[in-house]
Structure 1
Amino acid sequence: MRNRWAILAILFVVRLTIAFQFQSVAAVAPLLQQTFGVGLADIGILIGLYFTPGVVLALPGGAIGRMFGDKPTTITALLLMTAGSLVMATTDIWGLQTVGRLTSGAGGVLLTVQLTKMGTDWFAGKEIATAMAIFVNSWPAGVAISLLVLPAIGTASGAGAVFAATGTLSAIGIVLILLYQPPPEVTSSAAGSARLDHLALLAVIVAGMIWGLYNVGFAMIFSFGPSLLAERGWSIAAAGSAISLVMWLSVFSVPLGGYLADRGRPLVVTIAASIAVAALLAWLTRSDAVFLTLVLIGLIGGFPAGPIMSLAARVLAPETRAIGMGVFYTLFYAAMMLGPAIAGRLAKSAGTAAVALDLGALTVLACPPLIWVFERIAPVRSQRARS
């Protein structure tokens, strides 16, 4: 298979399994609280544990992918995700839930780094923002599907059935990834130097911070949004359906943001959308206009995804993409590990999940200054690379 858009479709579906699995805890958080007798702080930790392996595995994950190849690495990652889900599906001990979550997260880390590198291989310099927007769109799509499907499964059959469903989807991903083929030019350049120069490394670090902080803010919506609405008397299913509006609308706003970025002024689009999302997150906890606020977040919140994800591709050569994406995702996973855990602690102390949404507003608001920093670094690095 050599059609790059068909390849992108495969990567989209396989990456969707990560979002579906990640959201499984938050989607049935009230059910888990009842089943295991835990609180919001414990739920926040369990959510964040999915990203914990990323702090230590993302960087070597890039090297692992470069050493063993795309398919073996992605298949191994999907097997880890499946195994973790099976552990969570078959135990009623909270400690083993954390073991399963960590195992799944380790697979998710390896898969995320490798899939991003594979997508960049096919689209670097060729509508990269649009392609990356479609690629990252698999995340809101996977979350939205989980918010609609998993609460119903959990209510009908219990938490074990929820995690069995995530494991089944990961196993399907193994079949799909067998269809992937790398582009010829990447195969021929794979033997080049994988060493990042200092400016490229700094630029990738800043890009990873931007992506991590933006996603922490967005994650607060679907991680603690259902609990916020449950505090207001909503049922688990109704809360999940309402929050899923953000994800479904993002399915349209994310590729639109990438399309606009590829056709000019990506900086303006990203900064304006980030400020708007921060304001809407803060408003969500203080307003009764829940549906209107969620609709606006969904329509606007997807715009920065493609432009942000394309930042690293601007400073990485084919031979440095694997290690560069490892650095990028190390920062992302560090943010996503700490964000939900801190939010859960703050929510427990304040007695309300609203505090988690306020934290999300602050992390999104931190993105525009970092984007300005990246834009100062990237042109300098490009000029030196040409000289």
Structure 2
Amino acid sequence: MAMNTTVAARSPRALLITLGLGTFTVSIAATTVVPVLPVLQQHFGVTAGDTAWLVTAYFLVASTATPVLGRLGDMKGKRPVLIGALVLFLVGSLVCAVAPNLALQIFGRALQGFGGAVFPLAYGIVRDELPVARIPNAIGFLAATPAVGGALGLPLGGFIAEHAPVAIIFVAQSTLAITALTAAWITLPGSRFRASGRVDIVGAIVFTVGFGLPLLAVSRAVSWGWGSPTTLGCFLVGAALLAGWAWLELRTTDPLVNIRTFIRRPVLLTNLTTAVAGFGLFGSFILLPQLAQVPESSGYGLGLAASAAGLLLVPNALVNAATSGMSGRVIGRWGARTPLLVGCSIAVAAFVLLSVAHGGAWLLVLWSCVLAVGVGLSYPAMPTLILGAVEQHESSEASGVNTIMRNAGAAAGSALAGSIIAAHTLPSGLPTERGFSIAFLVAALASALAVAIGVWIPRERPVPEPGTPVRAG
């Protein structure tokens, strides 16, 4: 362990590249499958609702496993848990590549979802191993990968859907996972800071079911109906289980999540802001390609193929990556709250502009790049605020909760965007322009709500040096 720590200390750039490769691998897998769902529907002879489980299963496992593995990483060491998460992701990718039926492919996607734990573990490793002065830039680099990977995954999946077998997607994901695993094995140090206690298995099970049911309802609401007994039942049972889980955690010696930490003002408000901001961002990933693929005969669509429509998001990914690096420098100088508020405000403007002016490819690219500036500024600020508000031994656990808040917002945003479009569809099957305008305005309102919540986040202290206690706030 001492040898690994020395290697990391001498090669912080190698450490960061390794972590970035892991988070990018997981991020691109989240959206690459979306354009190929119609192809898989025809291949397996199933309905669109059936293939949607390929997305739902991934997000369900990614969201519910993240805090569990984050807590395990804080206790047993972040390096072995991160490597384990990547191994499960690799196995899932291989299963998907050879799956002879949809059920097995859904199982493979669920295994891939365990890779979601890479994010909080990576943030925890950054806090443990890098000098405080380098943490904001490092977090900015890692925080860019969900948006960059998500944006690049759509055109890649669209291109493969049109020109190659779908299995190529999962072969490519397996290759990325093997590369990330090799780099992690060589580069990652052993953990110097570990939490004491045991794994709260009962709390993990109750949380998984309690959080998973509402997330399942949100993900499937378009096909089930928002007011259906199944959807409402999932919400009600999930809420009851989560309330019971919180009661249980407050009375457990070694809880899965320290509830007292997460109800502190800076942590609670940052997590709420993250969820609301994620609501708008991932809804746009669905809306922009859909809008571009509407036939020109509609009077507003561009009539692009899936791969060409996905390419509209490539400039978004590049701008996002560049802005995230700038966000790290802003955080280092003025703190994380400033870029969070500025970024969410820019997102409001971008969504409003998308709502009222989307009559050409250049406009979609332009406004999506404005949105990328907002996302690139705000997303790195969120985990930075969390890391600055919790103890060293809680870093991966706290980042894990922040990650699932982003995933929950993303799932809700995507589902609501789909519902709005479905509710504004002509008898011919074409969505109306009004539906897209309303959906973009809803995303703008979500970003405005993120600003309204974010202004109440206390001005943060810098991320403390390793071993420094964090005062309650």
Please report the TM-score for the alignment, with normalisation by the length of structure 2. 0.71
1:29/1:43 contact within 8 Å kept:
yes
Q: Aligned in 2, Cα 1:325/1:266: closer, same or farther, shift over 3 Å?
A: closer
Instruction: State the partner residue of 1:275.
Output: 345
1:211 paired residue among 274, 278, 298 = 274
Instruction: State the partner residue of 1:181.
Output: 188
One-letter amino acid of the structure 2 residue matched with residue 204 of structure 1: V
Secondary structure of 1:103 counterpart: helix
Mind listing any 5+ residue stretches in structure 1 that lack a counterpart? Answer: none
Q: Aligned in 2, Cα 1:300/1:37: closer, same or farther, shift over 3 Å?
A: farther
Instruction: Report the Cα offset of residue 29 of structure 1.
Output: 4.9
Question: Once the two structures are superposed, what CA deviation does each residue of 1:307-360 show, in whole Å capped at 9, x if it has no partner?
Answer: 222010111121221322233233233333333233333332333472554443
Instruction: State the partner residue of 1:81.
Output: 89
Greater CA deviation, 308-317 or 292-301? 292-301
Q: Which aligned pairs between 1:12-161 and structure 2 lie closer than 5 A?
A: 12-29=20-37, 31-32=39-40, 35=43, 46-91=54-99, 93-105=101-113, 107-123=114-130, 125-161=132-168
1:369 paired residue among 452, 455, 465 = 452
Question: Once the two structures are superposed, what CA deviation does each residue of 1:40-64 show, in whole Å capped at 9, x if it has no partner?
Answer: 7767664343221244322222222
1:310 paired residue among 384, 388, 397 = 384
Instruction: State the partner residue of 1:342.
Output: 416
In structure 2, C-alpha distance between the alignment counterparts of 1:142 and 1:170, rounded to whole Å? 14
Q: Which aligned pairs between 1:224-373 and structure 2 lie closer than 5 A?
A: 224-231=287-294, 232=301, 233-264=303-334, 266-286=336-356, 287-288=358-359, 289-351=363-425, 352=431, 354=436, 356-373=439-456
Question: Once the two structures are superposed, what CA deviation does each residue of 1:45-91 show, in whole Å capped at 9, x if it has no partner?
Answer: 64343221244322222222134322321222112212222333334
2:28/2:149 contact within 8 Å kept:
yes
> How many residues are treated as equivalent by the alignment?
381
Secondary structure of 2:456 counterpart: helix
Sequence identity percentage: 20
1:140/1:248 contact within 8 Å kept:
no
Greater CA deviation, 112-121 or 191-200? 191-200
Instruction: State the partner residue of 1:190.
Output: 194
1:166 paired residue among 162, 166, 173 = 173
Please report the TM-score for the alignment, with normalisation by the length of structure 1. 0.85
In structure 2, C-alpha distance between the alignment counterparts of 1:12 and 1:55, rounded to whole Å? 19
1:15/1:112 contact within 8 Å kept:
yes
Q: Aligned in 2, Cα 1:337/1:325: closer, same or farther, shift over 3 Å?
A: same
Question: Once the two structures are superposed, what CA deviation does each residue of 1:182-205 show, in whole Å capped at 9, x if it has no partner?
Answer: 37xx61x42568885835543333
In structure 2, C-alpha distance between the alignment counterparts of 1:258 and 1:98, rounded to whole Å? 37
What is the RMSD of the two structures over their aligned residues, measured on CA atoms?
Answer: 3.2
Question: Once the two structures are superposed, what CA deviation does each residue of 1:87-145 show, in whole Å capped at 9, x if it has no partner?
Answer: 3333464444433222211x222222222211222347324322211111223332344
In structure 2, C-alpha distance between the alignment counterparts of 1:372 and 1:36, rounded to whole Å? 49
Mind listing any 5+ residue stretches in structure 2 that lack a counterpart? Answer: 1-6, 198-253, 295-300, 426-430, 463-467
One-letter amino acid of the structure 2 residue matched with residue 221 of structure 1: S
Q: Which has the larger radius of gyration?
A: 2
In structure 1, C-alpha distance between the alignment counterparts of 2:278 and 2:346, rounded to whole Å? 15
Q: Which has the higher contact order (CA 8 A, sep 6+)?
A: 1
